[in-house]
Structure formats: structure tokens, C-alpha cells
Amino acid sequence: MLYRQPSSPNQLLLHTSCAEDLYSIYHLQRHLCWYESILWPEDMKQSHGRIHVFFSEDDDIVPTSFINDYLEKSNIDTTVLSDFKHVLSNLKIGLLGAGRMSQALARSLIERNVVSSKDQIMASDVDENQRNIVASQLGIVTTADNREVVKESDLLILAVKPKDVESVLKTIREPLLPHYHLLVSIAAGIRTTTIEQLLKPNSRVIRVMPNVACLVNASCSVYSSGKFATTDDRSVVNTIFSSIGSCEGEIDENLLNAVTALSGSGPAYFSVLVEALADGGVKSGLSRSMALTLAIKTMLGTAQLLLGKEQPFHPSQLKDAVASPGGTTIYGLEMMEKAGIRAALMETVTAATNRAAQLES
Ligand SMILES: NC(=O)C1=CN([C@@H]2O[C@H](COP(=O)(O)OP(=O)(O)OC[C@H]3O[C@@H](n4cnc5c(N)ncnc54)[C@H](OP(=O)(O)O)[C@@H]3O)[C@@H](O)[C@H]2O)C=CC1
Ligand SMILES: O=C(O)[C@@H]1CCC=N1
């Protein structure tokens, strides 16, 4: 870890925060006698108790597969915990606003072991009811005072509605230290420059657009960095938002309103489609519950085919594969075209993009 050249964002973060940190280097290279700290397989075998070594598959510090192979050759029992990462062990995360999105984020960070303990997360909310839900269901410390969260955290996630952003930022301006804190906003339509202007000069800001599917770890997020955010800041944001689904990378901030309109609002559009298709099933005689189940599972299966790990379908390819000549599907598709569904969906995203732009001004 001290000598390795970083080859991933997390390794880069470790490299700059630990491997290049003066005190870490001084301590690890001067005061630690490695030969006194190594537990050799031979010593393990001689120990009286049974030894079983557990690894995290995606550990950025420990070269898991290398050590696992070595221990297996030495007949030591091991288990590699798939999908486990080395935790963001020291980062303290503060949630400003403890509503739907914050709760989903916190739950994922804890359940997916991105943080090592619940104590690494704190949340504030004006609503006592929300605070009680978060405290009782997630075991997180809560407060009504946003400033307290800032004082206790390294990274802040601003998760209040856009209309409340300005007042929250004014409250936390004083305790928020530009060289220390990173502010990550998920508020729709609030630009990083607007946020930066409300904070102290040089404040580090990143704007992210996730979606509500973070409740089931299936969000897809995109982000834009403010003027002063660093490479390490982007790396941490990547780690956090990958833990609630996927993080699709950075985008020009001018396009973030379109992202908000497509994937941020998208779960609402797909819900309407599913409901309408189920209504059609009911009209044709299916029970409500059967119709809903079929509509939902058809959406899920279609998404899996379009994403296809090995051979993804293009949407038009999949449509053509389903619509046989003179069959049922092509009659249904004709009706969709007559109703102008394509134009309606395009206009849907355009209208939501325009609304996000209105929120900006
Ligand atoms: N919901 C979604 O699908 C998505 C939302 N977003 C964005 O995420 C943000 C949060 O959304 P969501 O979680 O749905 O919203 P919620 O309304 O569920 O949560 C926001 C919480 O913040 C509280 N709050 C309001 N003012 C303050 C304040 N001054 N200090 C502390 N807490 C305050 C609210 O209390 P009260 O209700 O009493 O005002 C509420 O409990 C929004 O900006 C939205 O644009 C982004 C992607 C998807
Ligand atoms: O409707 C909204 O304002 C938010 C932004 C994306 C999803 N919900």
C-alpha cells in the first residue's frame, strides 16, 4: 500500500491521504518493524486455536487474491467476502435533511459496509418525526441543528428540497471550512456556482444526481464538480454513489438538468407506464394484482435484456425481435405510434429539463 502506484480512484485516494502523508510514512517506515508484525502461515499452524482468514474482495489496501492464493497453498482456511470493500474507515458523513433520499443513502452505506460503523454518519432535519425515524430505524445520531452536523463531519450531503437549500447554506456558512469539508449536493436544479457563492471562498462542492432507486441499491448517479473540488473529492463521491447502485461518472454541469429530467425523475415516468399497462391488462380481463405483477416483471426483464451483460439488445432490435409479422405486438405498437407516445415521452424529458433550468434561476 505504501509503495504501490495507484491504479484506481480509491487507490489514488489512499495514496494521497495515507501513503503520501508525512506522519503515516514516518510512523510506518521508521517505527514499525515489519518482521515483528508478520504472522507467517507456519506460526498460524502452530497456534492452538483454529484459524480462518476473511478477506474483502474489493479491498484497496490488502492485495486480496495474492494473499489468499498464498494462504491456500499453505493450507490455511480462507474466505473471500464477495463485493466487500475496504471501508471508508475514517470519513464522517453528515446528512443535511433526513428525508427519503438521505435515509436510502445512509441505509446503503451501512448495509454495504462503505462505512465501518453507524457512528460515522450523522443527520439533521427540521422535522422531529423524520429524526425519530432515522434514529430508530437506522441507529444514526440525529439533531435539529445543521451546524452541529457540519462540526461533526468531513463530508456533507445536502439533501433538502431545492427551495430550502439557500437557508441551509446560510446557516452552515460559518462552521463549514473550505480546506476541511466537502459539500455534496443532490438538490435538483441548484448549480455549484450558486452553492459556492453562498459558502466561504474556495469551498469544495460537488453536485450529484442520483434517483430514488437508491432505496434498492439500483440508483444511477452522475455528478459535476465545482471549481474547487479535488480529484480525491471526486473519488470519494464515486465510492459513495457506487454503493447505492452505479456512478456513471462526471458530466458537464450544463447537462445535469437533462440528467435530472431523465434518470432523476425517470422512476416516476416508468411507474406511470407500468400502471397504464396494468390498466390495459385489467381492461382485457386480468385481475389487478396479476396485471401489475406482469407489467412490473416485464419492465424488469426488458431492462435486463437491454443492459445485457454479454450481449445487450438495442431497444429497436428488441422491439423487432418481439413483433412477429402480422402478430399481436405490431398491432399494439401501431396504437402507441398513433397516440404519439414517442413525442410525448421526449416532451416529458424536455419539460422536466426546462423546469430544472427554472429552479436554477
Ligand atoms: N426524491 C427523489 O426521487 C429525488 C430527489 N432528489 C433531490 O434530493 C433532495 C431531497 O429529496 P427527498 O429526500 O425526496 O426530500 P424529502 O422532503 O423527503 O427530505 C428533505 C428533508 O429535509 C427537511 N428539511 C427542510 N428544511 C430543512 C432545513 N432547513 N434543515 C434541515 N432539514 C430540512 C425536510 O423537512 P420538511 O419536510 O419538514 O420540510 C425533509 O424532512 C431534493 O433536493 C431533490 O431535488 C434527487 C434525486 C431524486
Ligand atoms: O422532482 C424533483 O424535483 C426531484 C428531482 C429528481 C427527482 N425528484
Whether the predicted pLDDT of 158 surpasses 70: yes
Tell me the three cell numbers of residue 176. Answer: 463549514
CA-CA-CA-CA dihedral for 340, 343, 344, 346, to nearest 10: 160
Interface ipTM > 0.95: yes
291 or 69: whose pLDDT is higher? 291
Q: Which of 37-41, 76-80, 115-119, 269-273 has the lowest mean pLDDT?
A: 37-41
Which one, of 252, 246, 202, 245, lies nearest residue 225 by Cα?
A: 252
CA-356 nearest atom, ligand 2: 3
Q: Residue 32: which pLDDT band, with cuts at 50, 70 and 90?
A: low
Whether the domain at 93-264 and the domain at 266-357 fall into the same CATH topology: no
Question: Helices 315-322 & 288-307, crossing angle to 10 degrees?
Answer: 130
**Considering only CA atoms, which of 209, 241, 16, 246 is closest in space to residue 114?**
241
**What's the pLDDT at 84?**
61
* pLDDT tens, position by position, 186-215: 999 999 999 999 999 999 999 999 999 999
Ligand 1 contact via 168 beta carbon (within 6 Å): yes
Domain 266-357 has CATH 1.10.3730.10: yes
Scan for cell 470519513, then name that residue: 91
Amino acid 161: pLDDT: 96
Instruction: Indicate the helix (H) or strand (E) that contains 122.
Output: strand 121-124
Mean pLDDT across 149-172: 97
pLDDT of residue 86: 55
Mean pLDDT of 235-252: 92
81 lines ligand 1 (CB under 6 A): no
Class of the CATH-defined domain 93-264:
alpha beta
Q: Which of 215, 260, 349, 355 to mutate to test the pocket of ligand 2 (most atoms within 8 A of CB)?
A: 260
The structural domains of the chain, with segments of one domain joined by +, span 1-38, 93-264, 266-357
Query: CB of 235 closer than 6 A to ligand 1?
Result: no
Average the pLDDT over 108-120 and give the result. Answer: 87
